[in-house]
């Protein structure tokens, strides 16, 4: 089984961390291919960043379909371009926020999301509502931590995440923590041991879900809303994204 884990930002160090987290939970025989687009923002911390990340993400999905991937993980907690990716792919595509929230709802009565910047909290709440998870979500909390600070050796990022998790448990009444950034993937086990509660990393959760879907022989339905995109001319910078036919995977 071949799974493509796509970090939608262009920071290679974060991609390597995400790939390691995915390989740590993948089944024997699963080949994890962790990539990031060649174009796009270095981190995704706003709606603007997210919009600019989607074209590069979709290029990686299209390339994966041509290479015969068995599934995909979108490794950004905003789940950018998720539905567009599903239109483009026959293989299953799972976002890490989607996966983490669903898994957390199965192991506790409620969860709190601990994310990076306060400005991203609204998007996490939006996704919780869209996925039917709002009734399980006790709170979405921010560390006021820029995403790339998680990549800086010797920074106090880990401690700030831990402190916010402790506040969540003390103040929100939750019994599970969801990490609201793919850049936190390597903190999961350490935080769970320190806190004494389950801590869900969306990268690991999404890998397990995609593996299960692929093992069951399930694929993205091509009937209705998630059918292949309608081929039409695209101009300017997007000219290279023009689909050759109604089937975006046609040779």
Question: Is 115 found in the same domain as 91?
Answer: no
Contacts of 152 (CB under 8 A, 6+ apart): none
Q: Does residue 229 lie in a domain region? A: yes
- Specify whether the CB–CB gap between 91 and 219 falls below 8 A: yes
Question: Is 184 found in the same domain as 128?
Answer: yes
The CB density around residue 24, as the number of other CB atoms within 10 Å, is: 16
Q: Does residue 102 lie in a domain region? A: no
Buried b / exposed e across 84-114, counting CB within 10 Å, b at 16+?
A: bbbbbbbbbbbbbbbbbbbbbbeebebbbbb
Please report the pLDDT score of residue 243 as a whole number.
Answer: 82
Question: Is 11 found in the same domain as 31?
Answer: yes
Question: Is 117 found in the same domain as 174?
Answer: yes
Q: Does residue 247 lie in a domain region? A: no
Q: How far apart are CA 29 and CA 49, in angstroms?
A: 35
Residue of 200, 215, 144 whose CA lies nearest to 21? 200
Average pLDDT, 10 consecutive residues per value, the chain (251 residues) = 98 95 96 97 96 97 96 97 97 98 98 96 97 98 91 88 97 97 93 97 98 97 94 89 62 35
Question: Is 130 found in the same domain as 181?
Answer: yes
Q: Does residue 101 lie in a domain region? A: no
pTM for the structure as a whole = 0.93
- Specify whether the CB–CB gap between 76 and 14 falls below 8 A: no
Question: Is 195 found in the same domain as 220?
Answer: no
Q: Does residue 250 lie in a domain region? A: no
Question: Is 87 found in the same domain as 209?
Answer: yes
Q: How far apart are CA 175 and CA 12, in angstroms?
A: 33
Please report the pLDDT score of residue 251 as a whole number.
Answer: 35
The tokens for 47 are 């709606």
Q: How far is CA 225 from the centre of its chain?
A: 21
Q: Does residue 220 lie in a domain region? A: yes
Q: How far apart are CA 9 and CA 15, in angstroms?
A: 8
Question: Is 114 found in the same domain as 89?
Answer: no
The tokens for 125 are 């709440």
Question: Is 185 found in the same domain as 213?
Answer: no
Please report the pLDDT score of residue 117 as a whole number.
Answer: 95
Q: Does residue 167 lie in a domain region? A: yes
Please report the pLDDT score of residue 5 as a whole number.
Answer: 98
Please report the pLDDT score of residue 249 as a whole number.
Answer: 44
Domain range spanning residue 17?
Answer: 2-96+205-241
**Number of domains present in the structure of the chain:** 2
| Residue 212 CB burial class (10 angstroms; 0-12, 13-18, ≥19) | middle
Question: Is 10 found in the same domain as 84?
Answer: yes
Question: Is 190 found in the same domain as 124?
Answer: yes
Question: Is 161 found in the same domain as 117?
Answer: yes
Please report the pLDDT score of residue 86 as a whole number.
Answer: 98
Which CATH number belongs to the domain containing residue 148 in this structure? 3.40.50.12500
């Amino acid at each position: 089984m071949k799974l493509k884990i796509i970090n939608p930002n262009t920071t290679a160090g974060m991609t390597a961390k995400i790939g390691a987290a995915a390989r740590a939970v993948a089944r024997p025989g699963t080949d994890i291919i962790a990539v990031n687009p060649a174009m796009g923002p270095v981190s995704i911390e706003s709606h603007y960043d997210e919009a600019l990340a989607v074209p590069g993400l979709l290029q990686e999905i299209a390339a994966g379909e041509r290479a015969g991937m068995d599934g995909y993980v979108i490794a950004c907690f905003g789940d950018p371009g998720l539905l567009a990716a599903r239109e483009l792919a026959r293989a299953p595509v799972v976002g890490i926020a989607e996966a983490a929230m669903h898994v957390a709802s199965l192991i506790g009565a409620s969860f709190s999301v601990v994310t990076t910047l306060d400005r991203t909290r609204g998007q996490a709440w939006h996704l919780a509502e869209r996925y039917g998870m709002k009734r399980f979500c006790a709170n979405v909390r921010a560390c006021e931590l820029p995403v790339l600070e998680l990549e800086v050796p010797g920074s106090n990022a880990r401690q700030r995440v831990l402190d916010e998790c402790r506040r969540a448990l003390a103040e929100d009444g939750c019994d599970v923590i969801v990490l609201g950034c793919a850049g936190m993937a390597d903190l999961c086990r350490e935080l769970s041991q320190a806190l004494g509660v389950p801590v869900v990393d969306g990268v690991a959760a999404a890998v397990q879900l995609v593996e299960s879907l692929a093992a069951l022989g399930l694929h993205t339905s091509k009937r209705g809303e998630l059918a292949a995109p309608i081929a039409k001319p695209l101009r300017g910078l997007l000219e290279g994204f023009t689909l050759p036919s109604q089937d975006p995977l046609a040779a």
